[in-house]
Amino acid sequence: MNKKNHFQRAINLLICSIVFCNFHFSNAQEIEDENIPFDAVIQSTLKGKRYKFYGNTRFNFNQAYFSNWISGGESALTVLYGLDYNLNYSVRNGLVWDTNLLLSIGATYISGSEFFKKADDRFEIGSLVGKQINEFWSYSGLLNIKTQLFPGYRFYSEEGVQKRDQISEFLSPAFVQLSLGWYYKKSDDLWLNLSPVSGRILFVSEKYTDNLSPGQKYFGVDPGKGTKFFFGASISGFFRKEIMKNIIWENKYSTYINYLEKTKNIDFDWDMNIRFKVNNKVSGNFILHLLYDDDLIGELQVRELLGLGVNIDL
């Protein structure tokens, strides 16, 4: 073998060695990167960004049918659709951005009724930007928007005729809240946001307030007005746990204290969801939603749903 061939083989061996070393180094760096907890970005010396997108889509229904049933009963059908998705984004310098989109809608039809009725109607977006203090705590700014998508009605009967009056619609009412404080996140299953400075604006359509009687209010808004401003403190959080195999217990909660009026009245919103899997596609949900807001009706609101349907995790 001549010198030229020896030289060529040496060059090829050197190139292969360089490629192998680069591949090994890159692969090792990726493994090291993956082993770092997602939220512990402030402790990492590696550059770059991370994001995660995950959530759940569900379709549930409840059905009852009666025909010539001597003890009585009314046929009914309830259909529910919901989604709950999260986008988590972080940068190695300690910036954290968590966004949640929640949609839940449903309708009920009862045999003999003139109208479909709502079983659920919620639309909520929460977006939090934080700057990490340490592995679990961050300074935070939170923007939350909460409303409904479809018109709401008051149903009644007049001289045997079923009637309804529209009492709400999309963005009426709508809550927009901006809060500053501290954000604690141990994992995707547990987080807490503490906001001693929290402004909230309630928006309504003035067509619902123009004809109010003196002293009467619409979702706490005075006659002829379209907004109401609140200033106070808020606490919100999330907790999820697998209490048994294939049974997930989820809790979303928030409280609000208004500094400007009725400071002893604490508004709260607790949404509990127990999800149980039959198999990879079929699952069930039990939802218990408790809501108290003194400016709305001043009484405890309760919503409870139990259904079986299709559940998709991403």
Specify the fold of 39-313: Lipocalin (2.40.128)
pLDDT in tens, 237-249: 999 999 998 899 9
**How many Å apart are CA 282 and CA 33, to the nearest integer?**
35
39 pLDDT higher than 70: no
| DSSP at 46 | -
Residues pairing with 313 in the sheet: 56
- Going from the C-alpha of 306 to that of each of 34, 36, 52, 70, 271, the distances in angstroms are 39, 39, 30, 26, 14
User: In the chain, what are the domain boundaries?
Assistant: 1-35, 39-313
pTM comes to 0.79
pLDDT in tens, 127-174: 999 999 988 999 999 999 999 999 999 999 998 899 999 999 999 999
Residue 40: what pLDDT? Answer: 41
By CB atoms closer than 10 A (0-12, 13-18, 19+), residue 254 is: buried
